[in-house]
Chain A
Amino acid sequence: MSALSGQERRAGRASKFRYNSQVALRDPTTLIGILAALLFGYLIIVPIISLLVDAGRVQFGDERRIGGEPGAFTLYYINRALFSPVAQSLFWTPLTNTLAVAFGAISISLAIGGPLAWLVSRTDMFARRWFATALIVPFMLPAWTFALAWATLFKNRSVGGQLGWFEALGLTPPDWLAYGQVPITIILALNYIPFFILLFGNALRRFDSQLEDSARMLGANTPTVALKIIGPLMLPALMSAIILAFAKAIGEFGVPYVLGLPVNYDLLATGLYRSISSRQTGVAAVLATAILLIGAIALLVDARLVREARKFVTVGGKGAMARRSALGPMRIPATAFAALIFVVSVGLPLLTLVLSTIMRVPANFAFSNFTLDYWIGTNLDTVALRTGILLAPALWSAAFNTLWIVGTASICSGILGLLVGYVVVRTPVWPLAGFLRHVTFFPYMVPGIAFAAAYLSLFAVQRGPIPALYGTVAILMLALIADQMPYASRAGISAMMQLGKDPEEAAQVAGAGWLRRMIWVVIPIQKGALMTGVLLPFISGIKGLSLFVILAVPATDVLTTYSLRLVDYNYTQAANAVVLIIAGIAYFGTVLAQKLTKTNLADGLGS
C-alpha cells in the first residue's frame, strides 16, 4: 500500500515536472535568457575573475624573479604594489591622488551644480530652458576634450611642442596651474556638473509642491520646510549624483593622461596604464582590482540609496505639481551665474580648440596667422602628417574603424539589451531574471580601464576553443559590448516594463505565436527603445578612451587612440581637430538620439 502511494507520488512529481518545464518552454523566452546568461557570464564575470586571479599568480616573464612556474600562486604582486619600497609610487601616491582629485572635483561640481540644478528646474531664471540643455553639453563630450583645451591655453615650457597661449603671450603659467592636480580637478569638476543638473534637477522637478504647501499650512517657516521636507526627500538623488560622479572619477583616464603625465602626477588609471605598457601585468592586476573595489563599493552604496529613494517616488502621485519660485531682484545675477558657468565649461574650451586648429602660432590673433591648412592643407612643413587632417588617410581609416567597431558593438548591445529586457520582464524563471538584471549592470561598477585590463588578461592567450584575441577587432567589440551593457539593458528593461504585458498578450490571444509577436508587436513598439539602446552605447563608445588605449593596436586604431597619439607626437592642431570631430559626433549623436526617441538624457543615466 505504502509502496504504491510512493510510486504514485513519484509519478505525480514526474508529471508535475513535465508540466512545469512545458510551461516554462512554451516560448523561447527562457531559452534565450539562459543563453544570454551564459554569454554575459563569459563576457563580464569570467574576465573579472581572471583579472582578480592574475593579481595572485606568477605571470609570464616573472618566473625567474619570483621563483615559480607561471600560474603558481604568489603574493609577490600584492607585496610589490602595497608594501615594497616602490609601493609608494606604484600604488599609494596614485591612490591618494585619485581620492584627492575625486573629492575635490565632486566638491566643486556639487557647489556649482547643486544651485544650477535648482535654478534650472525650479526658478524663473531667464532662458531657463535653454540653459537646461546648454549646461549639460559637457556630459555629451569626452572629458579629455577639455584637458586638451586646458593644455592649449596653459601649457608651459616644461614640455616640448607648441607653446600654450599664455606662454606665447609671455606669461609663463606655473607648473601647478599648467599640470597635475589643480587642472585635473577643475576639468573633472566642470565635467561632472551635468550629473547634478540631470539627476538632482530631475528629482527637484518631480518634487510635489503640495508637500511643501502642506507643511506651510501647518505653520512651518521656510527654513523648517527646507530642512524637514525638501532636504530629506532630495538627499537620495543628491547622493546618487555624487556617487556616480565618484565612480567615474576613480576610473578617469584621458584627463590625467594629458595633464598629469608631464609632471608625473599619476592617478590609479594612469598608473595602471603605465604598468601595462611596461609589461608588469601582475601589478596592473592589483591596481585594476583596487579600482574595481572602490568602484564596486561606490555603486553598492548608490544602489542602496536608489532603493531608499524609490520608497519616496511612489508618494508623488497624480496631483503632483511643480511650482517655480520667483527670483525677484536675483533674477539677473542668477542668469549671469549660469551664463558664466556655460562660458567656462563649454564655450571657452570649445572656442579655444577650434581656434587652435586654425592658427599657425598660438595666441597671435593677426589675420595672417589664421589658416585652414591643418584641416585641408597639402605639402605642409612637417616631418610626418604633411597634409591637413581631413586629407590624412590615417584619420579616415581611424574614423572607419571607429564607426565599424563601435557601430557593430552598439547594435549588438542594443539588441542584446532589448532581449535582456524582454527576458527579465517575461520569464517565469525568476532567478534568471534577477541574474541577468544584475550581471548586465555589473560593468557599470567597473571603470573602463580595469575592464580593459581584465579583457587583456583573459584574451591575451588562447583559452580552450577561444583563440588569443589580442590585437583583433573582436576583442574590442566584445569589450565594448560588455562595457555598454548597463546602458543597453537599462534601456531595454525600462522599455519592456513600460510596455507591460497587455499588447503582447492581446496578440497571443488573437493567435500569434512567439516569433510573430516579436516581429509584429514587440519590436515595432520598441523601436524607440532599441534606438536608445544602440545610440547611447554608440555615443559613449565613440568618446570612450580607456578601453581602446589598452586593447587597440595600430591595426585597430580608432579616433580616440589616433588623437592621443597625435598628442604624444605634439601635433597639437591635428590632435585638437580630431577631438573636435569626436566631440561633434558625440554631441550630434546625443541630440539625434533625444530627438528620435523623445527621451531625456537623465533617463539614460538611470536615476
Chain B
Amino acid sequence: MPTIRLKDAEKRYGGTAVKAVSNLNLEIGDGEFMCLLGPSGCGKTTTLRMISGLEHLSQGQITIGDRVVDCVSSGTFVTAEKRGMGLVFQSYALWPHMTIERNTDFGLRLRKVPKAEREARVEKVMKTLGIAQYRDRYPSQLSGGQQQRVALARMLAVNPDVLLLDEPLSNLDARLRLEMRAELKRLHEAFKTTIVFVTHDQWEAMTLATSIAVMSDGELQQVGTPNDIYERPANRFVAEFVGSPPINIIEMTDQSSGPLAGLARAYFSKFYPQLKSIGSVGMRPEAIGFVRDAGAVPEGSLSGRASVTGVLPTGGSWIIELVAEGSKLFLTTHQPPAVSDGAEGLFHVPPEALHVFDDKGDRDWVADIALSKGGEGRPEMVAKKAMA
C-alpha cells in the first residue's frame, strides 16, 4: 500500500472563516497504525473523512502513492466509493434492514466477487471476529460489542489497503473496549493493513498506535511514536493533553509567578546557566520523588520543601498531592506510600525528566541536550530533533 500524504490540507465549512482543519501536512506510511489524537472539535474526524473522500478539501491536496485523489488547485476529486478504503463509524452504521451476513458481504457483492470466493472470504472474516454464529440475525438483535465486530468485519471482508476507524470503541464498556483494543492490534498484524484511527482517548492511542498525530484547533501539534509523544512532547499542549494525571507545570515567564518558579530559576542558573528565556517547566507525576530528609535527594535534582496534602489510592497505584512553595504538585507511585496527610519532606526531579518549554510554549530542544548531560537518555533522538 502506498503512502497517504496530506499536503497543506485545509477545511472550512459552509463558507465560514472558521477552519476545521488548517495547514495540515501529514504522511501515513505503509502498514502504519496511525492514531489521530486530540480533544473533541480538534479536526481529527474531519481529517479522517477527508482521507476517506466523504469530505472534500477547501485547500491543499491529498495523494495516495502517486495518485492525486483530492486537489483543489488542479480540480481533482475522487469520490469515496472509488478510493477503495474501509471506514468504521463511531455509530457502526450497520444497515438495519440487512442480516449480519448481508452487511458483511455487501462490498464483495458490489465488486461482483464470485459466489464461492465471496462466501469463503465472509466465512473467514466472520470466524476471525467471532460473529459467524450471528450471520442470520439483524443488527438490532446484537449487543454493542457484537455490532462493533460486524462493522469491522464488513470493512475487512473487502480487504482494503487502508482501514479508517472513527472512534470505534467509544460506545463500548471498559472491559469490552480493552478486548477490542487487543483484537484491533491482532488484526493489524494479521491483515497488514494501514490503519488510521481517530480517538480522544490517550490510553487508546498509546496502546494501539505505531505513531500518533496530536491535533488541536485544527492544527497538527506533533507526530511521533507513542514514546516520543509522551517523553518528548513538542509543546505545552501535547505535554498537558497526554498523561494522566496531567503533567505538573511551573510557569516561569512572569517574575511574579510564585516561589516555586523562583526555586526553579535558582536551580537552572546554578546547574544550567546557558539556558535563557525559559517559559515553563513540566514534570511528569511519576518522575517526581518525595523524601523525608535532605540527604536522600539525588545530586543535581530539582528539589524543594514540600508537604503532603492528600493521598489518593487509585487501585494498585497512588496519587499524592503535594504543596511545594505554595504550588500544587501531583506525583504518582506504585509503591504503597509510607506518608500521610501533613507529612513534611522534600520533592525531587532528576534533570532528564524536566521538560523545558520556551516562552511560546514550544519544546526547548537545546535544554533537552543540556539536561540529558549530552550523552544519556537517547541523545541521538534529541540531537536529530534539535537539528530539524
> Nearest B residue to A12 by beta-carbon distance?
B73
| Most chain B Cβ neighbours within 10 Å, of A15, A430, A505, A510 | A510
Residue from B72, B73, B74, B80 in contact with A509 in the complex, judged by beta carbons closer than 8 Å: B80
Complex Cα–Cα for A46 and B76 (A): 40
Q: Are B110 and A16 neighbours in the complex by a CB distance under 8 Å?
A: no
Do A516 and B110 have beta carbons less than 8 Å apart?
yes
Which among B77, B91, B95 is the interface contact of A26 at CB below 8 angstroms?
B77
Q: How far is the CB of A126 from chain B (nearest CB, A)?
A: 35
Verify B75–A525 contact, CB threshold 8 A: no
Residue of A nearest to B151 (CB): A506
> Is B54 on the interface with A (CB-CB < 8 A)?
yes
Give the residue name and chain of the B residue nearest to A18 (CB). B75
Q: Residue on A with the closest CB to B83? A: A509
A512 beta carbon closer than 8 Å to chain B: yes
| CB of A514, distance to nearest CB on chain B (Å) | 9
7 contacts between A and B (CB under 8 A): A27-B79, A506-B94, A506-B95, A506-B154, A510-B106, A521-B95, A524-B97
Q: Number of B residues contacting the other chain (C-beta, 8 Å)? A: 37
CA distance A197 to B77 in the complex (A): 52
B87 CB contact (under 8 Å) in A27, A430, A509, A513:
A509
Tell me if B134 is interfacial: C-beta within 8 Å of chain A: no
Q: Are A507 and B106 in contact (CB under 8 A)?
A: yes
Main secondary structure of the interface of B (DSSP, over half): loop
Give the interface centre of B75, B79, B86, B89 by most chain A CB atoms within 10 Å. Answer: B75
Per-residue 0/1 for A488-507: is the Cβ within 8 Å of any B Cβ (1 yes, 0 no)? 00000000000010110111
The 3 A-B residue pairs whose C-beta atoms are closest, nearest first, are A502-B93, A510-B107, A18-B75
Q: How far is the CA of A361 from the CA of B34 in the complex (A)?
A: 87
Q: Are A511 and B107 interface neighbours, CB within 8 A?
A: yes
B67 within 8 A of A: no
Number of CB contacts from chain A to chain B under 8 A: 88
In the bound complex, CA of A61 to CA of B123 (Å): 79
Q: Is B44 an interface residue (CB 8 A)?
A: no
Given contacts A506-B93, A525-B95, contact A512 B81 (CB under 8 A): yes
Q: Which A residues are CB-close (under 8 A) to B74?
A: 15
Chain A contacts for B86, CB-based, 8 A? 509-510
CB distance from B196 to the nearest CB of A (A): 13
A residues within 8 A CB of B92? 502
Least CB distance from A219 to B in Å reads: 36
Query: Bound state CA distance, A524 and B99, in angstroms?
Result: 13
Which A residues lie within 8 Å of B52 (CB)? 509
Q: Collect the chain A residues with CB atoms within 8 Å of residue B155's CB.
A: 509-510
A19 adjacent to B81 (CB under 8 Å) = no
CB of B111 within 8 A of chain A?
yes
A500 and B95 contact, CB distance less than 8 A:
no
* A508 CB within 8 Å of chain B: yes
Check B91–A502 contact: CB distance below 8 A: yes
Partner of B77, one of A23, A505, A507: A23
Question: C-beta contact mask, A552-579 vs B, less than 8 Å → 1, else 0?
Answer: 0000000000000000000000000000
Q: Is the interface of A mostly helix, strand, loop or mixed?
A: helix
Residues of B229-269 contacting chain A, CB below 8 A: none
Q: Does B14 lie within 8 Å of A430, measured CB to CB?
A: yes
B106 — which chain A residues lie within 8 A by C-beta?
507, 510, 512, 520
**Is B65 in the interface zone, CB < 8 Å from A?**
no
Query: B342 near A: Cβ within 8 Å?
Result: no
Q: Is the CB of B72 within 8 A of A15?
A: yes
CB-CB under 8 A from A512, the residues of chain B are 81, 106, 110
For A22, the chain B residues whose CB sits under 8 A away are: 75, 77
CA distance A448 to B217 in the complex (A): 52
**Bound: A22/B151 CA distance, A:** 30
Q: Mark B47-77, 1 if CB is under 8 A from A, else 0.
A: 0000011101000000000000000111111
In the complex, chain B residues whose CB is within 8 Å of the CB of A506: 87, 89, 93-95, 151, 154
Q: Are A19 and B72 in contact (CB under 8 A)?
A: yes
Identify A508's interface contact among B54, B96, B111, CB under 8 A. B54
Of all chain B residues, the one with the shortest Cβ separation from A504 is B93
The answer on a CB contact under 8 Å between A15 and B54 is no
Contact (Cβ within 8 A) B93 A503 = yes
Give the contacts of A2-36 with B (CB-CB under 8 A): 12, 15-16, 18-19, 22-23, 26-27
**Hey, which chain A residues are within 8 Å of B158, CB to CB?**
510-511
B349 at the interface (CB under 8 A from A): no
How far is A500 from B106 in the complex, measured between Cα atoms in Å?
Answer: 19
Q: In the complex, A511 Cα to B160 Cα: how many Å?
A: 11
Query: Roughly how many angstroms separate A74 CA and B29 CA in the complex, as a whole number?
Result: 76
| CB–CB B75/A19 < 8 A | yes
For B73, what are the chain A residues with a Cβ–Cβ distance below 8 Å? 12, 15-16
B93 touches A508 (CB 8 A): no
Binary CB contact string for chain A from 30 to 56 against chain B (1 if under 8 A, 0 otherwise)? 000000000000000000000000000
* Complexed CA–CA distance, A502 and B95 (Å): 9
Q: CB of B220 within 8 A of chain A?
A: no
Beta-carbon nearest neighbor of B96 in chain A? A525
Say whether, besides A15-B73, A19-B75, A508 and B80 are in contact (CB < 8 Å). Answer: yes
Whether B100 is near chain A, meaning CB under 8 Å from some CB there, is no
User: Which A residues are in CB contact (< 8 Å) with B111?
Assistant: 511
Contacts of B164 in A (CB 8 A): 509
A510 to B160, CA, bound (A): 9
